Each structure stands twice: as structure tokens, then as C-alpha cells.
Structure 1
Amino acid sequence: MSLSTSRRLALLTSASLALLAGCGSSSDSADAKSAPARVAVVASTNVWGDIARRVGGDRVDVTSVIGDPDQDPHSYEADPQNQLALSKAKVVVENGGGYDDFVDRMLKSGHNDSAEVINAVEVSGRTAPKGGELNEHVWYDFPTVAKVADRISAALAEADPGDAPAFGKNAAAFKAKLTPLEAKEARIKKAHGGEGVAITEPVPLYMTEASGLVNRTPAQFSEAIEEGDDVSPRVLQESLAVFGGKKVKVLVYNEQTSSPQTEKAEAAARAAGVPVVPVTETLPKGKDYLGWMTGNVDALASALAK
């Protein structure tokens, strides 16, 4: 083979490879254009993250800032990974009500002014009772959760209009599964309405109130525990006294904010034969929102029936 022939073959081979590479690039580009990127969603906790995932399906990438069931959400400190996720988010779901103010601070420091921010407390329409404090734990309030699911659907539809019908369908399916939970609460209310309940902090109050139960715990106790503060000996004794004389039928105990004083309340309840129902603020490992809440409501019903 002559040198000129070899050179011509080499040039033809190079041209063919370039053409194939060009065809591959065109195909890849077409595929990329036909499959829009998933919507980046950041939720303050894995509770709202799971709900966003139910609504968004496989068209969303969800990052939950707080997902460790052993972590107290009240003491969260920002980290670079979550800061980066928030800076790129198209939709942000925060709880609001002072529960997760770190989200707003991180959005500001990440210069993300374009994200659609859904504040669950604002969506709920809940306000503080006269002379009291707002209970920000609105994910225990099923009507609020339904409203937030609709808001997530609308925000995702704005970010990805082509998948809007799927988001709406997913939200409707999710809300339909909340209805049996509200029916369970209604049955508890019919059987046990007006009976007393004790709490270690306000986390489960929307669930217990919807079930017709009356909170007998002094507000000074549950509010102090929520803030990580100790209560005075007088308030502690008043709180322990509710377990005597059949004033309460059940103690609902937040496992994520236990302290020596809440442990005393648990011990007093057990000593008086009062059932203890443990709850958490974030999703336990291996649970989704609907399964978790079904377990919570069923546990409350079982304890009251004892």
C-alpha cells in the first residue's frame, strides 16, 4: 500500500468516526430534549419530602434537609450539601410557623430568589388561639396536608407544564388516601370524645383534637419541653398529677425530644396504668407518610380502648 493510499484511508476513517460521533451527539441531544429534567424539590423534613414525592412521582428529585429520626429538628444546623440543594431548587416545601426558619436563611444565603416556596403553616390558615401560641406541627392535621399536596401539584405544574396532568392525578390519589385517616379520627371522637389526653409537647395535638380528646397537660410543661427548657418543680408536679384520678386516658409521648422531665411523665403514666403512645416529628426509617400516620392513629385508638 502506498503512503498516499494509507493517508487517504486514514482521512476517510477519521471523517467516518467524526460523522458517527456527530450522529451520536445529535441523537443524545434529541433524547435530552425529549425528556425534560426532573424538577428539583427541597423539603425541610422528610415528612414534606415524602408528600412531595407522592405528588411528583418520577418527575421530581426530592432532597429532605432533615431525615434522621434520631435528630431533633429544633436543633438543626445547616450543612454545605443541603445549602447547595436549596440554591438549585425549583420548588421548596417548608413547614413554617418558626419550625424551620433555617430554610429561609439558607435560601437567602444561596441567592435563590426564583424557587416557589410553599409554607405549610400559611397554607393551613391556622392561627394562634387567643392568649396562646400557634401549634406549628401541621403535618398532623390531615386537611392541611391535603391543601399542601394541592399547592405542591400547582408548583410542580408551573415548573414542568408538560407533566401537569400527572401531578394533579397523583395529588388526587394521595388526598383520597387521607380520607380513611380522617374517618378513623371521627370514630375515635364518637367513642371517646371529651376524654382527657396528656402530651409531652404539642406535636400530636391536631390529631388528638380531631379525635375529640381534651389536652389536660399544663401548657407551661409542653411548651418548655418543645423549646428544650426545664420546667419549674411546681409545673412538673402539676403535670405529673394529671395521671392520677383517671383524668387522662393516654399519654402521647414525643420520642425525639425526650428529657429527664418527660421520662418522669412517662414513668408516672405507666405507674398509673395510663397507656403511652410514642410519636415522632419526622418519618421513621422505612415508613412513608400514609403508613406512618395510619400507625399513629391506630395506636391512639388502641390505647384509648384499653
Structure 2
Amino acid sequence: MTSRLLALPLIAGAAALALTGCATSSASGNASDDETVRVVASTNVYGSIVQSVGGKDVEVTSILSDPSQDPHSFESSAKTQLAVSKADLLVENGGGYDDFMTTLAKASGTKAATIDVAELSGLDHGGEFNEHVFYDYPTMVKLVAEVQQRLTKLDSAQADTFETNAKALTAKLDDLESQTAAAKAKVDGEKVAYTEPVPGYLFDAMGLDNVTPEKFSEAIEEGDDVPPAALNETLQLFRDKTVRMLAYNEQTSSPETEQVKQAADQAGIPVVGVTETLPKGEDYVSWQQANIDAIQAALTK
């Protein structure tokens, strides 16, 4: 899917100037002077994974963490800049999803290394790349290994802790993969739709066939007007009961997505809410477990 999202407004001159003098991580890549390893993640999805590996020995800041916030619109603050300037490690989605991280890093002058998860994934970036790689469990397994390696380099004294935590989290991610493989044996080929390609990789893992008109989902993702023909074609999927389920991005809405949701409700087709950040009180694994459970429940109705 084409890149979009999370535009970063220019930071006010006074705030930017005030922050240029903030302490930054050392060029050697070691942890901060107070020996606390500090990591800044673009969203709490990645913050959760880093915290699970790092445990109490790592201080994690997630820039986007409010489940009610529209992740397509983000405004920086001096506090955010300060956190980035003091970071020992940055974690971003990449793939055009959270370009604000690059802007923040440049403005703060940090020398912290950055993990670009889209790049780490090895997934095909050609054509219409779906940048929502946080719904791809094999990619998250790679991320856990990368985070363990980076944290160990920053704080070798806690290497055993990071290794133990990484193994435990990887086992949980492997279980999620096993569940999707088992689900595929039951629902492979079922036609489904979404308002945006947020759960696309999860759909693929479960063998689900997304038949949403590309011009509809692209327009919604980019925040553009949906072509009337694409909207009508999408609505027809529900009128004809072509699809078994609709995945609805709960963090962005428009008149067109509301029309589609209403069409699904009227046709008696289950609507499953999906998000781009963690709901309150959830960690990465519990969030994705809930997604798997909700999709399977919808497809059995």
C-alpha cells in the first residue's frame, strides 16, 4: 500500500532551538550516563515489544500511545523532542508509515541507532507496499531478535535477562503463528473486506481473500475522496453478501467508512474492529490474540 500517515508539523522555532542543546546519546552507542538504557518507539506497538525484551532495565517511551488518537495525524511537542534527544535506541515502523521519526531524530541531533522494522522485515517494498508490518508475526520475531541484540550491546551486564525475555516473547509469537496456520485450514479462501489494509498480513496468514476495491482502501488510507464508483462497488460487496466479514479501522473514520460499516450491519455481516496502536491495558501478544479470536469468531457466524 502506498505510504501515508503521521505527518509532522514544523516545530516552533523556540522549541527547536531550546532542544538543540539537550543531551544526546553518546557516539559510542553505550547507554546514557546514568546507565539507564532509553528507547523511543514510534508507537506503543513497538514500545510493548521493546519493554517485553528489556524488562525493568530499559526505559521505553512510545510516541503514539493513546488508543483514541487518530494515528494519521500527529503533532510533535518539546517533550517528544527531548525524549528522542536522550534516546540510546529508536524504533520506527518505516516504509513511509512514521516519517516523523526521521524528522524528530534530525531535529534533536541524536546519535542513537534506529531499527527500521519495515526494512528489517524483508517484505517486498515494491508496488503497493502494505506498511502495517506490525500485523506480520514473522517480522515481529525478527524484531525481537534485533532488539535483544541492540539492548545487549547497550547494556551487556543484562545480556542474560534480555536473552531470557526474548526467548519467552518469541515463544508467544510462534504460538500466534501456529494459531493462524491452524485457522487457515478452516477459513482458507473466505472472502473478506477492510476499510484500510491494517490487518492485511494477518488476513494473508489466515488464508483470507481480501476483495475490497483497491481504489476504496487506498483513498481511505491516504485521506482522499473515495471515487463514487469505488464506493458503490464496495457497498455492493455487502448488499450481495459477497464477503463474510468487514475489518474496520477504529482509529480513523470518514463518511465513506461509516457507510460501509452501516451496509455491513444492515446485511448482518460481522464487523471486527482493528487498530494501529495497542488498546489500553494490552500488550502486543494479548492484542494480537484478541484480533485472531475476533476474526475467527466472526467467520463462524
* TM-score class normalised by the smaller sequence: 0.7 to 0.9
1:83 corresponds to which residue? 81
Checking the alignment, whether the CA contact within 8 Å between 1:74 and 1:100 is kept in structure 2 is: no
Checking the alignment, whether the CA contact within 8 Å between 1:221 and 1:239 is kept in structure 2 is: yes
- State TM-score, norm by structure 2: 0.87
Of 233, 239, 259, which aligns to 2:254?
259
- State the 1:276 CA deviation: 0.5
- State the 1:73 CA deviation: 1.6
Map residues 163-174 of structure 1 onto 2, 5 A cutoff. 163-174=158-169
- State the 1:166 CA deviation: 1.3
1:112 corresponds to which residue? 110
The answer to whether residue 99 in structure 2 is matched with residue 101 in structure 1 is yes
* d(CA) in 2 for partners of 1:72, 1:285: 15
Of 122, 126, 130, which aligns to 1:125?
122
- State the 1:178 CA deviation: 1.1
**Is the partner of 2:251 in helix, strand or coil?**
helix
Checking the alignment, whether the CA contact within 8 Å between 2:192 and 2:210 is kept in structure 1 is: yes
2:66 corresponds to which residue? 68
2:241 corresponds to which residue? 246
Checking the alignment, whether the CA contact within 8 Å between 2:40 and 2:89 is kept in structure 1 is: yes
Of 146, 159, 165, which aligns to 2:154?
159
Deviates more, 1:46-55 or 1:183-192: 183-192
The superposition leaves residues 99-145 of structure 1 with CA deviations (integer Å, 9 ceiling, x where unpaired) of 110111111111112x121010001011235xx31101011100001
- State TM-score, norm by structure 1: 0.86
* d(CA) in 2 for partners of 1:201, 1:48: 20
Of 110, 133, 139, which aligns to 1:144?
139
Of 223, 228, 234, which aligns to 1:228?
223
- State the 1:36 CA deviation: 6.5
Checking the alignment, whether the CA contact within 8 Å between 2:215 and 2:227 is kept in structure 1 is: no
Structure exhibiting the larger radius of gyration computed from Cα positions: 1
The superposition leaves residues 43-88 of structure 1 with CA deviations (integer Å, 9 ceiling, x where unpaired) of 0001100100000001100000011111122211211101000011
Of 286, 295, 299, which aligns to 1:300?
295
Aligned letter for 1:174? L
RMSD: 1.3
Q: Which has the higher helix share?
A: 1
The answer to whether residue 180 in structure 2 is matched with residue 182 in structure 1 is no
Unaligned segments of structure 2, at least 5 residues = 1-32
1:29 corresponds to which residue? none
- State the 1:246 CA deviation: 3.2
**Is the partner of 1:96 in helix, strand or coil?**
coil
* d(CA) in 2 for partners of 1:299, 1:56: 30
**Is the partner of 2:215 in helix, strand or coil?**
helix
Aligned letter for 2:105? L
